[in-house]
Amino acid sequence: MLLNGSLPTPPKPTSIGHEATGEVIYVGPKAKGGFKVGDKIGFINAYGACFNCKGCACHYVYCSSPKFQMQGFAIDGFFQEYSIVDPSTAIVLPQGMDATKSAPVFCAGITAYHGVVRAGLQPGETLAVMGCGGLGQLAIRYAKALGLKVVAIDVDDKILALAKQAGVEHTFNSRSDPDYAEKIHKLTDGGVDAVAVYTAVKAGYEAAPKVVKLGGNLVVVGTPSEPIAFQPIEVAFSKIRILGASNHADPAELKACAEFTVKHGIESPSRFYKIDQIEEMVDSMLKHTTDGNRLAVIF
């Protein structure tokens, strides 16, 4: 979002990176939470957020506290060897969670998890995951762990192959198969129970209402830079219900997500880079050659 201009450039040179895990090497004298040197922790980038105001009730980006700054955007993020972390945004990793692999849980993971949960489905019902990149791959795994059937939709056969490996019932390439929506309706007897849109491409939102059943839920997760539109009458007459999901979480929610992730053996497909390879990593992201992986810097 910084690189494509949909977020403003920081006022001074700032290291990026907004989801991370690490090891505690020092605990400030006023730090709360019982953290100790050597703890492996995960954290979000809401430095100084109060988690109590009306803004935080929506998302911490709207925090009214003058102390709040978003790491990786307004101030230095986590693509660096040492970072200062607000203890109110952190948890000790649950036993069995590998700190070298679990960084994506603390933004992509909680976002993907919220998207699946917000769909409001029961075990055995069907969720369509629209866009099966990094977040979508995690969403598929959370959905399967919750006992849902999953239909994966993407424009890349390599990414859909990863989805198939994760146990989805059906995959569709919406670019090469013009009849995919009709086929989904036939397979699901009228459409999926809910669709969660993880792509940041407008076309995903144009396609999503075509695959969901009457009265089904459409969960907004991906954020295209241009506006998206829905037919108001379809919302007014409850043909579709539109819900939102994001990475917004307090430590209790982070802990619950992390424990669920470990319990079900969920890992994000990831590709790791050293810090001096960061330009190569960013180039892969911009060229869309990630093949469904989260891209991570490891120290």
Topology agreement, domain 20-107+248-268 and domain 112-244: no
What pLDDT score does 251 carry? 83
Mean pLDDT by 10 residues, the chain (299 residues): 78 90 96 95 95 94 95 93 94 94 94 97 98 95 98 96 95 97 97 97 95 98 90 94 93 92 93 94 91 89
pTM of the model: 0.92
What's the CATH number for 112-244?
3.40.50.720
Q: What is the pLDDT of residues 169-200, one digit of tens each?
A: 999 999 999 999 999 999 999 999 999 999 99
Query: Under a CB-based contact definition with an 8 Å cutoff, are residues 126 and 149 in contact?
Result: yes
- What residue segments make up the domains of the chain, in order of their start? 20-107+248-268, 112-244
CATH class of 20-107+248-268: alpha beta
CA distances from 179 to 3, 183, 228 (A): 35, 6, 23
What pLDDT score does 111 carry? 96
What pLDDT score does 239 carry? 95
Query: Under a CB-based contact definition with an 8 Å cutoff, are residues 124 and 147 in contact?
Result: yes
Q: Is 283 exposed, middle or buried (0-12, 13-18, 19+ CB in 10 A)?
A: exposed
What pLDDT score does 128 carry? 98
Q: If we measure between CA atoms, which residue out of 276, 216, 266 comes closest to residue 113?
A: 266
What pLDDT score does 10 carry? 83
What pLDDT score does 95 carry? 95
